[in-house]
Structure 1
């Protein structure tokens, strides 16, 4: 099966071999690829065909079952549950493009009367949507002008890194964790994605040249690519736990805990509690990634010579590259500045609150993108760093996907379905100890965050956990903090977190591979929170 970006080369008299254009395939992205756009063996193609067709049968059956079988839920909750079941089944089967399935779910919400259209569509105005748009445009500039490729060669040229696929992936995990502790997880992944794709492009081309893969291989199906992309996404989620400002659920959970219990968790207490958990999770992630997505090769000889040759070909930085770095640097600085300021003046000060409100993450991303259309390359010819045709190439499917996911999260909370789920689990499992409540809190937060935004998971779970703990005579601080940590999970689906959606949009991670890796990490990460958090938090004076 010939792919759209294949090129044909002669190998011997009378024969021609299709050689994949690695750069074109990897850097073109893709939230969804049809069977014709993939290279599959006959067995794989048969399985994929059955899987995708089955969604058209399972989704309607799941919808009808949840809609009409008596469940004890209120009518609105039952309608929301029916739509979510149908959407999740279609996502798992990939019967329709992932973003189109999300849009279908939104349309069904309105058609069956869960809420008025204006209420259902309101989350599309979220600042996160604008963060996506701005960050994606910045990433597009990095790709167009070769900044990402230049960074890729720089990283590959570092001593001891570039000749090992394992060390490359581990290095990305460490960098992502540190950055996402202060910069939003979404922004961290968005700004590192072009570099990761550039490195993957080099690795894939080397594997092709060295005969490690076939001439006509599909670079989007490489295990090393999946491991690199998932390390980027999951590493950001881990790093986001490290500080109170690392992710929105942290701020939401900490605020709800203080409001409900009067206990304030300081910046230092949060970091000291999260640090050992994050280190253990990063180690567990590395083990899981390399077991589930074992790279095709651990070492690639000749990387140093290859990198040196291509760095020489790149020459000096162009005006467009410099402009891109200026816009990118300003954006990153403005993303980080409120967190840095908060460390010195406190997050409760009037100065911090004023700066944080004005330097909104989404607004900063959009303004950074606008700079690319202002900074000139050739002023006399009115040529700027980007034009609109470049911006139109960003992955709008991922933006639609996450916007719809935010809608599903809002409907879960507004309909009361999330609270009903929590109450049902309480009645089914019973509540008798702090350990049981903490385990239930983590489980509930992870389950909700898998199908909705992590922000919604924290906003819904923490208010459920606090009264449950109080009713059982248990200090609610630890269970509520555990729920906050669990809300930043959601590693199984593209819709679970923005960073999952971003790396899924690269086309390098199939939904099946994300589920296989994510479910393992959900289980191990959840266990680390349940058993480590109470001990560590007590040692630092929380609870």
Structure 2
């Protein structure tokens, strides 16, 4: 979901990197505080901007552990006289925090039950030995799994399968176009699949929470899927087509996979399918009954059921090991800073002085511009929750100034926050980058082409389907 990625910072040793990051955070924060004008911006907003930028530098450089920086974002708010401690803490512990916690537990159960391996085997047996079809099967598998569990475990599962296949065929890292295309395809597909449902990524829920906090708008589970599922259906084949043309496999066929006949579903697999099916039905029903069937409540009850005697799918020790606490803390810290942007007037000021001119444009052009900016900003802020927190508040204000529904401009940001494949800087893509089958710059060209397709698809679907689901 949002595990903290290791950042490639050249040959700096860890101590030097941490000191450099700490100094950079202080310098960046002070510089912004000095440069921001006093006119039209409250002292609290200026201090918050400095704090926000300082935390972003710390997150990107990992000068401090990710979770520690998140706690600093809370503790520093009363120090900077941005918000009292009880307010900053209350913004930290939102429903998104508990939803992400539940999704880590669900991902653990899917892996422990063996459902992920059964699904992978089923897909690969149908792909056969054609190298291009195998790449497509991996992408479909990663995207499908990522739609219901975190992008990180979905990518890790398929990366392990892909690495085993490449090693079995004797394909060397850095010398095989098939290996390059496959290891790029897996994280790209995981990113794409994560937008199919709100449950596919913590970034989705964070964005929807910010949209609710800033714009007073709730987007239903099925309404999200009305845009997310077509996006996945369009983008997975497009991404596959781009990858196999930019990096055409040097082999036509691969060695056939093991032909073990799968046995019947075991007890854990059956219970997991029953539980996931029930949760999906309730999530979809929450579109019409948001008060009775809150998405976070369904996720929490589903994860609690995993411990019940009738299921017994998860132990407490396993649950604790499956949770990325630094990811949870980061979600909390980002949410608290994002809400503070609204309360101090920083978001409104940012729109007025940087995006205000967009309010007079045609909505189609605004949506396309917002989506494109969200893609490019990943190069500066390669942390998906931070991208969402930085951009959602100002675009909600922009929509309000233009007299348009906030969701019309905010959803392109929330969706496109997952379009992070220009460079392998996120935790998801770094999983396969570490296999050394591709270099960092190998992702740029295909990633840019797929990103263009993403912006076009996002703009068209939001503009056409949005009105049908009440987004305009």
Q: Same fold (TM over 0.5)?
A: yes
1:452 and 1:209 map into 2 onto residues whose CA distance is: 39
Match among 407, 413, 417 for residue 486 of structure 1:
413
Q: Find the counterpart in structure 1 of residue 316 from structure 2.
A: 388
The answer to whether the 8 A contact 1:451-1:493 is kept is no
The answer to whether the 8 A contact 2:184-2:432 is kept is yes
1:271-299 deviation digits (Å, cap 9, x = unpaired): 8888776655445544666689x598776
Instruction: Return closer, same or farther for 1:389/1:490 CA change in 2, 3 Å cut-off.
Output: same
The answer to whether the 8 A contact 1:55-1:95 is kept is yes
Mapping for residues 254-273 of structure 1, pairs under 5 Å: none
1:10-68 deviation digits (Å, cap 9, x = unpaired): xxxxxxxxxxxxxxxxxxx9745599xxxxxxxx9627878776434422211111123
1:136-178 deviation digits (Å, cap 9, x = unpaired): 233334444544333332332224488544212332366369x
Match among 407, 420, 426 for residue 349 of structure 2:
420
Secondary structure class of the residue paired with 2:417: coil
1:414 and 1:62 map into 2 onto residues whose CA distance is: 23
Secondary structure class of the residue paired with 1:303: coil
Secondary structure class of the residue paired with 2:307: helix
**More displaced stretch, 433-442 vs 194-203:** 433-442
Q: Find the counterpart in structure 1 of residue 166 from structure 2.
A: 207
Mapping for residues 424-443 of structure 1, pairs under 5 Å: 424-427=353-356, 431=360, 433-434=362-363, 437-438=366-367
2:69 and 2:180 map into 1 onto residues whose CA distance is: 26
Structure number, greater radius of gyration: 1
Instruction: Return closer, same or farther for 1:63/1:137 CA change in 2, 3 Å cut-off.
Output: same
Instruction: Return closer, same or farther for 1:176/1:254 CA change in 2, 3 Å cut-off.
Output: farther
Q: Find the counterpart in structure 2 of residue 167 from structure 1.
A: 136
Matched, 1:369 2:306: yes
Q: Find the counterpart in structure 2 of residue 224 from structure 1.
A: 182
The answer to whether the 8 A contact 2:143-2:190 is kept is no
The answer to whether the 8 A contact 1:226-1:508 is kept is yes
1:33 and 1:355 map into 2 onto residues whose CA distance is: 40
Instruction: Return closer, same or farther for 1:364/1:275 CA change in 2, 3 Å cut-off.
Output: closer
The answer to whether the 8 A contact 1:110-1:117 is kept is yes
Matched, 1:61 2:27: yes
2:166 and 2:138 map into 1 onto residues whose CA distance is: 16
RMSD value, Cα: 5.1
2:464 and 2:295 map into 1 onto residues whose CA distance is: 38
1:385 and 1:267 map into 2 onto residues whose CA distance is: 26
Q: Find the counterpart in structure 2 of residue 154 from structure 1.
A: 122
Instruction: Return closer, same or farther for 1:515/1:224 CA change in 2, 3 Å cut-off.
Output: closer
Unaligned runs of 5+ in 1: 1-28, 36-43, 181-187, 377-383, 471-475, 495-499
Note the C-alpha offset of 1:389. 2.8
1:103-156 deviation digits (Å, cap 9, x = unpaired): 333333343222122221224432332233233233334444544333332332
1:542 and 1:101 map into 2 onto residues whose CA distance is: 35
Matched, 1:74 2:74: no
1:169 and 1:206 map into 2 onto residues whose CA distance is: 11
Secondary structure class of the residue paired with 1:197: helix
2:138 and 2:227 map into 1 onto residues whose CA distance is: 26
Match among 247, 255, 270 for residue 302 of structure 1:
255
1:383-409 deviation digits (Å, cap 9, x = unpaired): x65433322322323222323222232
1:509-530 deviation digits (Å, cap 9, x = unpaired): 68x7899587776665345545
Match among 327, 330, 347 for residue 401 of structure 1:
330
Q: Find the counterpart in structure 1 of residue 437 from structure 2.
A: none
Secondary structure class of the residue paired with 1:82: helix
Unaligned runs of 5+ in 2: 435-439
Match among 274, 279, 283 for residue 335 of structure 1:
279
**Normalized against structure 2, the TM-score is what?**
0.71
The answer to whether the 8 A contact 1:406-1:453 is kept is no
Match among 115, 118, 129 for residue 97 of structure 2:
129
1:132 and 1:375 map into 2 onto residues whose CA distance is: 24
The answer to whether the 8 A contact 1:401-1:501 is kept is no
Instruction: Return closer, same or farther for 1:466/1:149 CA change in 2, 3 Å cut-off.
Output: closer
2:56 and 2:320 map into 1 onto residues whose CA distance is: 29
The answer to whether the 8 A contact 2:347-2:394 is kept is yes
The answer to whether the 8 A contact 2:371-2:459 is kept is yes
Q: Find the counterpart in structure 2 of residue 356 from structure 1.
A: 293
The answer to whether the 8 A contact 1:77-1:416 is kept is yes
2:62 and 2:374 map into 1 onto residues whose CA distance is: 25
Secondary structure class of the residue paired with 1:152: helix
Q: Find the counterpart in structure 2 of residue 109 from structure 1.
A: 77
Secondary structure class of the residue paired with 1:362: helix
The answer to whether the 8 A contact 1:153-1:199 is kept is no
1:255 and 1:115 map into 2 onto residues whose CA distance is: 17
Mapping for residues 456-495 of structure 1, pairs under 5 Å: 461-462=395-396, 464-470=397-403, 476=404, 481-491=408-418
2:341 and 2:214 map into 1 onto residues whose CA distance is: 19
